[in-house]
Structure 1
């Protein structure tokens, strides 16, 4: 493994949902900085016995970079293990900027995001024909602000399928904004710790989801999925329609006996 920092998406929870490439590189690492309780300790079963492990939950950006810089100088193979996919709410840009200042090369290995894991948990498809062909990944503003042009009410007014990160602790605020945006009652699913052993799924509508979430005591580590895709009528895809031709399936000649 080249002497560079590897950002690896560990997946949403189930340790088998890391990519083959991610696990291979992880198994070769001398140093791992991982995202605390969001990443399963099961991943460490595949690591070297003497691997150095740091929990970034209690570390500042400067401390993380210091560990990486020291490991790089000592020619140690280093992994920054993130939950889900590091490109989504992973705060990796600020880390990459610091690495570039230090001329430390890096590579990003994608992972399974919690929003796709949540859809899998309730066995739904975000992009149903004639229902929605767009998925909006967003969050409601909390301590971290959201640009005004990305206000949840405005996004909801589009009517697309939605996945909200980092918002379940403000479920009442989320519901209020979604009701104003959608202008009607729509299906909602809340999935806590998707693919973990203690995964919990709650399905309802904007009218009752807040109450159901509170009854289940879901306050963190959950995805909020919103949209008609959760429960609706839909058109079948043309992909498997026998009358629809494409480069891999040509239509049969009407006069052919084959």
Structure 2
């Protein structure tokens, strides 16, 4: 495991939610580069005493790659620790491109996304029969541009369950775009720092969620979930456990 980079999803916040494989990689790492503005530092408690640790919140891409190149040249194992699961808004694509250009070996260990930490905090299933069988994972357009067909207003017309990253700081605009498709009575939940000790949950509808979010002083590090799965009332059970359903896998 020497002379390579391992991207690790550290989970949504609770340090117990890192995978066993991810924890083992941190334990074996000679160098750790972690997203300090988001990752719970407790996940690094198992590191070796002599391990070098860098906070990527203070580094640009070139600086990160230079640290990796120097470490790999010395046959060291580098743990690149991201929050949640690194495949969703983890900015690993640009890092992987640089690693490939420099012929540096790497692997990816998935993690529990904040999306699923949010669902657990809300004690809900995101896919209920006849209510929603589709989950849209997206973010509003900010400094990072989006393809026109992926606008919030366009996606809202599907009436699916929508999980929105990085949008709570522009909650008024977000609600305005969501109302292009959803009814004003559609349930909305906002979870800040899901699975952390200071987790905060705000629930409402598109009619009042913006005011509730402002009253709770939630401006970042939060997931917005929209859809009828949040307040489903009565619904048809899944066929999976139907007494008359014959299936090889149950």
The TM-score bracket by the shorter chain reads over 0.9
**Which residue does 1:146 correspond to in 2?**
146
Q: TM-score, normalised by structure 1?
A: 0.95
**Which residue does 2:113 correspond to in 1?**
113
**Which residue does 2:136 correspond to in 1?**
136
Q: TM-score, normalised by structure 2?
A: 0.98
State whether structure 2 residue 21 is matched by structure 1 residue 21: yes
1:183 and 1:218 map into 2 onto residues whose CA distance is: 24
**Which residue does 1:254 correspond to in 2?**
none
Paired residue secondary structure (1:36) = coil
**Which residue does 1:75 correspond to in 2?**
75
Q: CA deviation at 1:119?
A: 0.8
- Work out the number of aligned pairs and report it: 249
After TM superposition, what 4+ stretches of structure 1 lie above 6 angstroms from structure 2? none
Paired residue secondary structure (2:180) = helix
1:248 and 1:145 map into 2 onto residues whose CA distance is: 42
User: Is the Cα–Cα contact under 8 Å of residues 3 and 74 in structure 2 kept in the other structure?
Assistant: no
**Which residue does 2:197 correspond to in 1?**
197
User: Is the Cα–Cα contact under 8 Å of residues 152 and 181 in structure 1 kept in the other structure?
Assistant: no
Q: CA deviation at 1:2?
A: 4.0
User: Is the Cα–Cα contact under 8 Å of residues 129 and 238 in structure 2 kept in the other structure?
Assistant: yes
**Which residue does 2:244 correspond to in 1?**
243
1:225-244 mapped onto 2 (5 Å cutoff): 225-232=225-232, 233-244=234-245
Q: CA deviation at 1:248?
A: 4.3
Paired residue secondary structure (2:45) = helix
2:184 and 2:237 map into 1 onto residues whose CA distance is: 25
1:2 and 1:59 map into 2 onto residues whose CA distance is: 23
**Which residue does 2:90 correspond to in 1?**
90
Residues 163-186 of structure 1, C-alpha deviation per residue, up to 9 Å, x if partnerless? Answer: 000110000001001011214420
**Which residue does 2:188 correspond to in 1?**
188
1:21 and 1:63 map into 2 onto residues whose CA distance is: 27
Larger radius of gyration: 1
2:19 and 2:209 map into 1 onto residues whose CA distance is: 33
RMSD after superposition:
1.0
Residues 133-187 of structure 1, C-alpha deviation per residue, up to 9 Å, x if partnerless? Answer: 1000001111111110101111010010010001100000010010112144200
Q: CA deviation at 1:58?
A: 1.0
**Which residue does 2:30 correspond to in 1?**
30
User: Is the Cα–Cα contact under 8 Å of residues 184 and 207 in structure 2 kept in the other structure?
Assistant: no
Q: CA deviation at 1:3?
A: 2.4
Structure 2 residue ranges without an equivalent (≥5) = none
Q: CA deviation at 1:203?
A: 0.6
**Which residue does 1:40 correspond to in 2?**
40
User: Is the Cα–Cα contact under 8 Å of residues 184 and 205 in structure 2 kept in the other structure?
Assistant: no
